[in-house]
Amino acid sequence: MRVWIETNAKMAKQDYYQALGVEKSASPEEIKRAYRRMAIKHHPDKNPGNKEAEAKFKECAEAYEVLSDLDKRKQYDQYGHEGLRGIGMHDFSRMNVEDISSMFGFEDFFASVFGGGGRRGGPVRGYDLETGVELTLDEVAHGTEKTIEFTRQDRCPECKGTGAAPGTQPTRCPLCGGSGQVAKGGGFFQMVSTCPQCHGTGQIVKNPCPTCRGNGRVPKKRTVTIKIPPGVHEGQGIRVAGEGEPGHDSGPNGDLYVYVRIKPHEFLERDGNDLIAVVPISFTQAALGAGIEVPSLDGTRQLKIPPGTQYGSLFRIRGQGLPDVRTGRAGDELVQVTIETPTNLNTKQGELLREFAQTENKNVSPKSSSFFERLKRHLGN
C-alpha cells in the first residue's frame, strides 16, 4: 500500500512510471495508452465521492504531463522530481477533472466513456469492462475460440434502470438543478465539480426500487464467445463491442476488453514470434555429432548436431515459431544445447575416459588450449 508522507507542507511524490504502470523504456504511445487506462480506472465519475480515486486521477495526470513531454521526461529520467524545478508545471491538486481532461485533448474521449454528455443532458455511454483469458502456446499458434463468463451491472428489470420504485419517478436534483454539476467561486475563475447530492445524475430517487435499492442496476452473469486470432501476445486486448455496462438515459453500452494471458509451456519459451527450446545433449554427442529430437508445438522434430558442438550453441529451425498477428508470417524455433557431464560411470566407461585423457595434447583441443594460453599471458606466466 502506498503511503503519502507530508513534510514542510510538501507531499512525497510517487515515481511517475509507477503511477502509470509502465517501464522506463515505454514508448510515447504506450505511455498515452497507460494514462488513458489509469484515468478511466480512477476517474471521479466512475468513483463518485471517492477522494482517493480523485487524488490518483490527478497523480496520473501529473505523471502524464511529464512523461509525454520529451524534454521534461529527459530531465526527470536524469534528476528525478528535483530536475523538474523551474520547469513550468501545472498544479493538478487545484484543478478540476474537466480541466485536466480538456488540457490533454481527452475531453471528447472521457465524455464518450464517462457520459460527459449526460451532465449536459442526453444519453450517457456505459462503462467499459475488463476481463482476462488464458491461452496455451498451441492456441496462440493456431488461433482459437473461447467462451468468456463475466458479471456486469445490468439495468434492473423491475424499475427499468430508473432506480425508483414501480409507479414512481426520480425527481430533479434541487442542488444542481438537474445539471449534475455544481460551481464554486465567482468572477472569471470558477471550480466546477460533480454534484455531491446526485453524483452527477441530475436526479434524486425518493422512493428506491426494492430490487436494486435505488441503484437502477443489478449484477448479471454474461457469457460471450470470442474469436482469438493466431499470434496474439501477452497482455494484448480483444475488444467485444457492446458487452460493457449499459448506458444511462438510453445511452449505448460500453465495451468489454478481454486481455490475454499465456500459460507457460513445459519446454518452449516465447521471444517475440520466435520460440526457444533448451535441450541437453551428452558430451559424446557434442564431440562426435548426432541426430536428436527436439520439442516443438507439433510434437518433436529432428535436429542434426555437428561434431564439435560447444555448450550453448544455438541452432535455428526456420518457420517453426509463432505467426505474426498482423502478417501471419511464422517466426523460427531456436534450439540452444547444453552439455551434460555424465555421473555414476561404470568401470568400462571410466577406463575409456582415462584412456582418452592420456591421448589428449594441445593439438587435440585447440579451443581449450587457446583459452589456457591466453589465461597464462593474462597472469604473466
Q: Collapsing DSSP states into helix, strand and coil, what is residue 140?
A: helix
What was the pLDDT predicted at 219? 92
Residue found by looking up cell 583441443 in the block: 365
Q: What is the dihedral of CA 313, 319, 321, 322, to 10 degrees?
A: 160
Q: What average pLDDT does range 316-336 have in this prediction?
A: 95
What was the pLDDT predicted at 101? 61
Q: Does the pTM of the predicted model rise above 0.75?
A: no
pLDDT value at 149 more than 90: yes
Q: What average pLDDT does range 347-373 have in this prediction?
A: 69
Q: What is the dihedral of CA 302, 303, 304, 308, to 10 degrees?
A: -140
Query: Which domains are present in the chain?
Result: 1-114 (1.10.287.110), 124-167+213-263 (2.60.260.20), 171-204 (no CATH), 268-341 (2.60.260.20)
pLDDT value at 165 more than 50: yes
Please enumerate in sequence order all residues whose Cβ is within 8 A of that of 266, keeping only pairs 6 or more positions apart, or say none: 295
Cell of 325: 498477428
Please give the Cα distance from 164 to 209 (Å, whole number).
5
Q: What average pLDDT does range 86-110 have in this prediction?
A: 61
pLDDT value at 371 more than 80: no
Least confident piece of the model among 22-31, 40-49, 320-329: 40-49
What was the pLDDT predicted at 37? 84
Q: Give the max Cα distance, the chain.
A: 102
Please enumerate in sequence order all residues whose Cβ is within 8 A of that of 40, keeping only pairs 6 or more positions apart, or say none: 46, 113, 114, 128
